[in-house]
Homo-oligomer: A and B are copies of this chain.
Amino acid sequence: MSSLLIAWQLKDKNVLIVGGGEVASQRVDSILPTGAHIALLAPSDGLNPRTRCLIDEHSDSITYYDRRFSGPDDLIGADMVLTALDDVDLSRDICNICRTAKIPVNAADIPDACDFYFGSQIRDGPLQIMISTNGNGPKMANIIKERLQKALSGLEGQAITKVGALRALLKIRAPGVGGAVSKRRMKWMSSLCNAWTLEELVLLDDAMMQKLLDVGWENDRIPTFEEVGGRRPEPDYGNPLVPQAIGFIAGALLAFYLLKLGRRKWRSLF
């Protein structure tokens, strides 16, 4: 059976992490970029140095409680619970309470108690890629992640940001959810993404976006990059002083050699 891979929204939600070891620090890493508020429950003598460091550095996002899990009341207000404990029985107990309270829960290293699993991730701005082996091999997920990373050009995140900005402008110009306008918007955006390269999308600026909508959207066609005023940056050859100096020296050496050769030839002639 496979999982349903989804992008869960946690902005302004409350996430409770029970435990303070290495896995807990990885959970904090996963949750911090989502904009959730984290409550971390662990006795300070069991805190991993990295977890302690994260708590100190992100005190605006993390509230730390220096104590053990004490019962169902600890879960009040939580929108998601992550346990990272060595105590398997306690972890299972917490999962059961969560299930009754309908709070999504993940228990590290106890797959059958989890509502959801984590996976390897690639992030590049608004782009997020998750690799899951459905619990068959976390290391394999990492190996595949590295392979996929090499296949990305590094421009994807920036291109998506520009496409998102253009899409927002288009929604202002042609508003409405669902129905014909929604379909036309989707089709036009899709054609643009197909027609333009990643490099061209990255170079989109405000003026070009306006022109794209004026010339393209209004006439239901996809203008080229050049048509909306797109200009590729001049190739950058770096500091010109070094090649200049090399050229100067080479020229001087050649002149010197020719002069010498010339003199000898003259000598041989006369």
Query: Which residues of A pack against B, CB within 8 Å?
Result: 1-11, 30-31, 33-35, 85-88, 101-104, 106, 109-110, 114-119, 121, 123, 126-140, 143-144, 147-148, 150-152, 156, 159-161, 163-164, 167, 177-179, 182, 186, 189-190, 193-194
On whether A127 and B118 interact (CB within 8 A), knowing A6-B5, A140-B163, the answer reads no
| A136–B110 touching, CB < 8 Å | no
| Chain B residue nearest to A148 in the complex (CB) | B148
The reply to whether B7 and A5 contact each other, CB–CB distance below 8 Å, is yes
Copies of this chain, count = 2
Contact A152 B147 (CB under 8 A): yes
**Residue from B87, B117, B150, B156 within 8 A of A7 (CB atoms):** B117
Q: From A131, which residue of chain B is reached at the shortest CB distance?
A: B129
- Distance in angstroms between the alpha carbons of A105 and B130 in the assembled complex: 21
Contact of A5 among B103, B128, B167, B179 (CB under 8 A): B128
Q: Which of B3, B34, B156 touches A128 (beta carbons < 8 Å)?
A: B3
The answer to whether A117 and B9 touch across the interface, beta carbons within 8 angstroms, is yes
Task: List 9 A-B pairs, minimum CB-CB distance, nearest first.
Answer: A136-B164, A151-B151, A3-B7, A5-B130, A102-B102, A137-B163, A1-B35, A6-B116, A139-B190
Are B126 and A133 touching (Cβ within 8 A)? yes
Within the assembled complex, what's the spacing in Å between the Cα atoms of A161 and B194? 35
Q: Which residues of B contact A182 (CB under 8 A)?
A: 109
Checking B5, B34, B190 against A121 with a beta-carbon cut-off of 8 angstroms, the contacting residue is B5
Bound-state Cα–Cα, A151 to B179, Å: 37
